[in-house]
Amino acid sequence: VALYKSVPTRLLSRAWGRLNQVELPTWLRKPVYSLYIWTFGVNMKEAAVEDLHHYRNLSEFFRRKLKPQARPVCCLHSVISPSDGKILNFGQVKNCEVEQVKGVTYSLESFLGPRICTEELHFSQAPSGNSFQQQLVTKEGNELFHCVIYLAPGDYHCFHSPTDWRVSHRRHFPGSLMSVNPGVARWIKELFCHNERVVLRGDWKHGFFSLTAVGATNVGSIRIYFDQDLHTNSPSYSKGSYNDFSFISNNNKEGISMRKGEHLGEFNLGSTIVLIFEAPKDFKFHLKAGQKIRFGEALGSL
């Protein structure tokens, strides 16, 4: 593990990103993309543009858009999958820890970071002995839930809003860019806390809601469409550092309103999305660990 952590994954990821942006000659595009499609099982019939010659470089191909009706959004359930991928874990958050894969956990507070100024009022009202987990829950009788979705290299790389909610704050942790493949996640405890990630926090009708995009090797680029100030995988960073940005201002006191299914952001290649949210105790997931899921399908409901 120590040897793997010493690999310069950020440098390699930036180099890979530069390579991905090199324009390919038209004659080379089809064989290169066809090899990728065959290797990772990409379904190009769902792509808005099926012609491989249309994509000037690998980066454009990774970020390909889907046909409008390829992913119908489920209207019957309150929370949908924000992306294509594989369900690694889900359930209630217990003892201030979240499972990244079965049996391997990470600290909730380390992952999300300390409280933010807009939460001060709520935290000041909570009893001093309350845990970080309990302090995130704003309504009596509610619990904290989580869901981890792994995006493989062949998956659709955009992600969307999983519910109707308001984004009030963004926290960016520069960090390592180790692989988040489930096999690696099994032997590196708190992998998600080591890696670069972008935490979007806000609220929905039941209280606290957060979506975190976790970077990985060759996925230094995390883009949030409404956040032009976000820049990921910078050449240098301080270990354990983070920077905050508030979407609440004098002119915009509501933050950023997102509708269920609305475009939210994108990765290059593949990565992981972690949802952590508050809901009534009778919230039920409609999932099985290890199952494949597509954007728009139900995650759970009341």
Check 160, 169, 172, 194 and give the catalytic one: 160
Write down the pLDDT at residue 283.
Answer: 94
Q: Distances from the Cα of 18 to the Cαs of 21, 27, 95, in angstroms?
A: 5, 21, 42
User: How far is Cα 187 from Cα 210, in angstroms, rounded to an integer?
Assistant: 26
Write down the pLDDT at residue 124.
Answer: 42
Dump pLDDT digits (tens) for 237-257.
Answer: 677 789 999 998 767 778 899
Outline where DSSP puts E strands in 17-173.
79-80, 85-92, 97-101, 104-107, 142-150, 158-160, 165-173
203 is catalytic: no
Dump pLDDT digits (tens) for 265-294.
Answer: 998 766 889 999 999 999 999 998 889 999
77 is catalytic: no
pTM equals 0.89
Write down the pLDDT at residue 212.
Answer: 95
271 is catalytic: yes
Write down the pLDDT at residue 92.
Answer: 92
Check 78, 84, 168, 179 and give the catalytic one: 84
Write down the pLDDT at residue 68.
Answer: 83
pLDDT tens per residue, the chain (302 residues)?
A: 667 666 776 677 677 777 778 899 999 999 999 999 999 899 999 999 999 999 999 888 888 899 988 899 988 899 999 999 999 889 999 888 877 666 677 889 889 988 776 554 444 444 444 788 888 998 888 999 999 999 988 888 899 999 999 999 999 998 777 777 777 777 777 788 888 899 999 999 999 999 999 887 765 578 899 998 888 877 766 777 899 999 987 677 788 999 999 999 998 766 889 999 999 999 999 998 889 999 999 999 88
Which CB contacts under 8 angstroms, 24+ apart, belong to 222-225?
222/196, 222/197, 222/198, 222/265, 222/267, 222/271, 223/265, 223/266, 223/267, 224/170, 224/198, 224/200, 224/264, 224/265, 225/263, 225/264, 225/265, 225/266
Tokens of 156: 């659709």
